Structures are given as structure tokens and as C-alpha cells.
């Protein structure tokens, strides 16, 4: 689905929405989250547009709030993808961010220039831009963050929902608002983002929460200082709880009007909530329902038909790729925060790179499929075997269709009798080929002794079958062996039934 959507976006004609700064940057953000950089034409186009703001006075920037917020988010996402210390696009990021802060209304929200009220829809992108900027080391106004946090709490309806235009009561006694369901994740997600940006995601001693007029300075668990001022942490948490109850009680994946815009807001909201709660479930109802909805509504050319087809398709890609979850995912750390010298490093240290997050990486091994397969088939007897299975490149990339069947046969043999890690790589490669003749071997691999290989075989079957249901096999093996056995048996039976519905004469030997 993502590949088809990106294919559409690559050749989509410019529209009134997609040609604006925000439209260009939204499409580019979708490509960045799918792994592309400034070499892609859509990313390059948006980047060139953003560079025009480098050094421009903030009060001279007249782009709308949506465009400005999305532009900052796009530039910061591109910066993060570089994994370098020095900022490449710090100039335009700073100019655009300062222009946002200048246009923030006295009550704390963002909105239309000629309206007094704040607009929750616009405000979410001002908040998102501030979070992204802080991630790449750009200084963000604490006063700006605090004012918008309190404004969102004040305009939240007693039901927990949020309005389009917020009527500010001037205090924290909630008044009746004209709630729109599609803005529930926009408002609630912004509260979670602000809690993280201000440091309120960290639990604070109870003695501090009743001091709303004191600028609180505390240390996080990793020793970094966070600042939270006139935002009462308890009041913020209560607003989050109220918003979660509203979202759960009224949940729908396809509200009428701006559906795909809503889905991206929902993905942001749920991603920050998962981080705040320390809970990352293997399966999420909201995401699964979203995938099913998008699967049945995607057009034959890869887009999602709507009044704003290009930008809505970009929103859909951002949802499908869990773009926010990718953006906030912290680097993995070793227990105790210590580095085991030499542990996990490739045997050839000539080309290793140390990223900004401290992770040591090396370029993926790639090359002719014949050479790559030879490494896998020899297993641990080949000196490059362990490096390959840890850092393997795109197996079969650039191989012609005429050669695919030849590699399929060798990969099927490898999947059945190779070393464990090699079996996993073989399963991934068979999924890339997308040849239904490989399905029986992948179904048989669901009985593999390694649960990781089972999961890779399952994912390959999902790819070549274009199914969304995994027939019960989960990413994590159940603790009880009997449950694991039943799960595997049921999954295999259902996959066999599926394959025989396509090829009734199919035979299985296990």
C-alpha cells in the first residue's frame, strides 16, 4: 500500500494544496519517513522551497500556520535522518519557528489572523513543530510551550473532546465547547507532545504539583534537566485522562470530513501516549482498523480519492508507516548504560560510523545475488557470514525477472536447511520476490524451530498474499509452550486453506 501510494505521489500533478509550502513539505515528509532523502525529487523540491526562508526575518514570513508547522517538522525529520551533530538546515528551521512564535495569540493558541479565538487544528502543528525543533537542538521558547499547554487545557470540553475554534473561559473551569470528534486526537495528542517537551512526562514528587506559580526544575531519570513552569502537572494529567476517555467512548476510524488528516493526528496521539505510558502493544486496534480502512479505500493508482487527493495520500502514508512512532523511538541502550567493548561490532572496522545517538553502524553489505547467496549457503564457514546476517543489504535488488525463479529455488533450499540467521534472511528475500510458488515453503517454515524465523516467514506470506490478517501468529512467542504450539498449528492450517483456495491442487509434505 505504501509503495503504491509513493508511486502515485512521485508523479502526482501539482494542485492548489500540494503546491503550497505545507503541501510540498507534507508530501516530502511522507517520503522521508519511508526512507528517502533529499535525492528524491519531491524531497528536493520541498527542501529548496524551505531554503528560501534561511535568514529571513521572522516577522516577514507570512506563510500560514499549517504550512509553517509542517515545514519545520519536515526539515527536522530530514535533519534527524542524517545522524550528524552539525545542523544543515538550522537557518530556515529557526526562521520559520520564530515566525510561529510571533504569531501565537496572547491566550496561547494559534489561529486565523483576523480571529480572536485559537484554532485547535492549527495549534497542533505549532506544537508538533516545537517538539521536532527541540529534537534537533533548536532552542524553543518555554513561555510559548507553557501558554499553549494551558490554553488547550482551558478549551477542552467537559466531555474530554476538543472544539475547532476554542472559546477560552480565561480560567480552568470548563465551559461548553462546540466539540468535533476529528479534533479529539489533535488536542489530546498536542497535550501529550507538550508534556514530553516540557518534561511533565516524568513523574514528579507530589510535593511539587500544588505549586503552579513556581518554575519547576527537576532531573529526569537520565540526569537531564527539564523545565516546567506555570503548567500544573496534575491538571495536565487529568486533561489527558479526560481526553482518553472521550476518544475511547467515541472511537471511529473514518469520521466524515478530513478523514486522512484525522488519521495522522490519531497516529501522533497514540504514539506519544504509548511512550508516556511505557506501553507499546504488539497489536493496536486503532492501527489495525486504520490499515483495513485504507486497504479497502485505496484507488487503483495508489492514492486515496478525496477533494485533496495528494495531501490526503501523504497523510495516509504517514499513518501507515507509524511516522511519529519512528520519530520518537529512543535509541536502544545496553543494560546499566555501559558499553561492552567490541560487542556487536562488525569484523571489518574500516567503514564503521558513529551516529549522533551513539549507535555504531556500518554500510549494509550488498552485491550480486550470486555472491550474497554464496555467503548464506556457506553459513558460519564463510568469514563474512555474521556481518552479512547482521547488516545484509537488499538481496536480489536489480536482478531481472528471468533470474528470480533460479534464486527462488536456492532460497527455498536455504529456508529449509540453512543456519538459523540465514533462514531468516531467506524468508525475507522470498517475500520480496512475491511469487506464489514460494508460499508452500514459507508455510512449512512456520514450523521452524526459531520463532524469529516463523515471524519472518509469516511476514513474507503477508507480503506475497497481500493479506492484512496474520492468522494468529504473533511477534512474540507465548510463554506457555502449549499455547505456542496451538498458535503455530492453527496458523499453518489457515495458511494452507488460503493457498488451496487459490491453487486447489497444491500439495504439502508436512
With contact defined as beta carbons under 8 Å apart, do 421 and 389 qualify? Answer: yes
Q: What number of other Cβ atoms are within 10 A of residue 430's Cβ?
A: 30
User: What confidence score (pLDDT) does residue 374 get?
Assistant: 81
- The H helix count followed by the E strand count for the chain is 20, 6
* DSSP annotation of 354: E
The CA–CA distances, whole Å, from 322 to 37, 60, 193, 287 equal 18, 35, 16, 9
% the chain with pLDDT above 90: 47
Q: What number of other Cβ atoms are within 10 A of residue 87's Cβ?
A: 16
User: What confidence score (pLDDT) does residue 110 get?
Assistant: 97
In which band, very low, low, confident or very high, does the pLDDT at 181 lie, cut at 50, 70 and 90? Answer: very high
pTM of the model: 0.65
Measured distance CA(265)–CA(262) in Å, rounded: 5
Q: Which of 195-199, 331-335, 503-507 has the lowest mean pLDDT?
A: 331-335
Can you read off the three cell numbers belonging to residue 430?
A: 522470498
**Is 80 exceeded by the pLDDT of residue 373?**
no
User: What confidence score (pLDDT) does residue 402 get?
Assistant: 65
Q: Which of 240-249, 297-306, 497-506 has the lowest mean pLDDT?
A: 497-506
- In order of their start, the domains of the chain are 2-328 (1.50.10.20), 399-502 (no CATH)
DSSP H helices, 298-357, are 309-320, 323-328
Tens digits of per-residue pLDDT, 4-41? 999 999 998 887 778 899 999 999 999 999 989 999 99
Across 29-33, 224-228, 368-372, the highest mean pLDDT is recorded for 29-33
User: What confidence score (pLDDT) does residue 339 get?
Assistant: 34
User: What confidence score (pLDDT) does residue 282 get?
Assistant: 63
**Is 60 exceeded by the pLDDT of residue 190?**
yes
Amino acid at each position: 500500500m505504501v509503495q503504491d501510494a509513493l508511486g502515485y505521489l512521485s508523479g502526482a500533478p501539482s494542485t492548489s494544496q500540494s503546491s503550497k509550502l505545507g503541501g510540498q513539505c507534507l508530501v516530502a515528509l511522507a517520503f522521508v519517513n519511508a526512507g528517502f532523502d533529499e535525492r528524491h525529487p519531491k524531497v528536493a523540491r520541498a527542501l529548496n522551497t524551505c531554503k528560501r526562508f534561511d535568514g529571513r526575518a521572522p516577522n516577514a514570513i507570512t506563510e500560514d500556520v499549517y504550512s509553517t508547522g509542517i515545514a519545520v517538522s519536515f526539515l527536522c525529520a530530514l535533519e534527524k535522518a542524517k545522524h550528524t551533530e552539525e545542523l544543515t538546515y538550522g537557518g530556515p528551521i529557526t526562521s520559520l519557528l520564530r515566525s510561529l512564535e510571533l504569531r501565537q495569540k496572547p491566550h496561547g493558541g494559534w489561529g486565523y489572523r483576523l480571529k480572536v479565538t485559537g484554532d485547535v487544528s492549527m495549534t497542533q502543528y505549532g506544537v508538533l513543530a516545537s517538539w521536532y525543533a527541540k529534537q534537533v537542538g533548536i532552542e524553543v521558547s518555554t513561555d510559548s510551550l507553557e501558554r499553549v499547554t494551558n490554553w488547550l487545557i482551558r478549551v477542552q470540553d467537559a466531555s474530554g473532546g476538543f472544539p475547532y475554534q476554542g472559546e477560552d473561559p480565561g480560567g480552568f473551569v470548563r465551559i461548553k465547547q462546540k466539540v468535533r470528534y476529528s479534533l479529539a486526537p489533535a488536542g489530546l495528542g498536542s497535550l501529550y507532545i507538550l508534556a514530553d517537551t516540557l518534561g511533565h512526562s516524568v513523574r514528579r514528587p507530589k510535593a511539587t504539583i500544588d505549586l503552579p506559580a513556581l518554575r519547576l526544575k527537576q532531573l529526569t531519570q537520565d540526569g537531564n534537566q527539564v523545565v516546567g513552569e506555570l503548567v500544573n502537572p496534575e491538571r495536565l494529567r487529568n486533561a489527558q485522562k479526560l481526553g482518553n476517555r472521550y476518544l475511547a467512548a467515541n472511537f471511529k476510524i473514518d469520521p466524515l470530513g478530513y478523514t486522512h488528516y484525522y488519521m495522522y493526528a490519531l497516529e501522533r496521539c497514540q504514539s506519544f501516549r504509548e511512550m508516556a505510558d511505557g506501553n507499546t502493544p504488539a497489536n493496536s486496534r486503532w492501527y489495525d482498523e486504520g490499515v483495513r480502512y485504507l486497504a479497502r479505500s485505496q484507488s487503483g493508482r495508489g492514492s486515496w480519492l478525496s477533494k485533496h487527493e495528494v495531501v490526503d495520500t501523504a497523510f495516509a502514508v504517514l499513518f501507515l508507516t507509524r511516522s511519529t512512532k519512528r520519530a520518537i523511538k529512543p535509541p536502544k541502550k545496553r543494560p546499566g548504560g555501559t558499553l561492552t567493548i567490541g560487542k556487536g561490532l562488525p569484523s571489518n572496522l574500516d567503514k564503521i560510523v558513529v551516529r549522533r545517538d551513539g549507535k555504531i553502524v556500518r554500510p549494509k553489505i550488498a552485491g550480486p545475488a550470486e555472491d550474497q547467496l554464496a555467503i548464506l549457503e556457506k553459513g558460519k564457514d564463510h568469514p563474512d557470514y555474521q556481518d552479512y546476517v547482521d547488516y545484509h543489504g537488499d538481496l536480489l535488488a536489480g536482478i531481472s525477472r528471468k533470474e528470480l525463479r533460479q534464486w527462488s529455488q536456492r532460497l527455498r533450499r536455504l529456508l529449509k536447511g540453512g543456519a538459523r540467521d540465514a533462514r531468516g534472511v531467506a524468508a525475507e528475500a522470498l517475500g520480496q520476490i512475491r511469487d506464489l510458488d514460494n508460499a508452500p515453503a514459507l508455510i512449512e517454515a512456520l514450523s521452524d524451530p526459531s520463532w524469529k524465523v516463523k515471524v519472518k516467514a509469516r511476514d513474507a506470506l503477508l507480503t506475497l498474499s497481500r493479506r492484512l490478517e496474520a492468522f494468529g501468529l504473533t511477534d512474540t512467542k507465548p510463554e506457555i509452550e502449549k499455547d505456542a504450539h496451538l498458535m503455530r498449528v492453527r496458523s499453518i492450517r489457515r495458511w494452507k486453506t488460503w493457498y488451496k483456495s487459490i491453487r486447489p491442487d497444491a500439495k504439502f509434505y508436512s
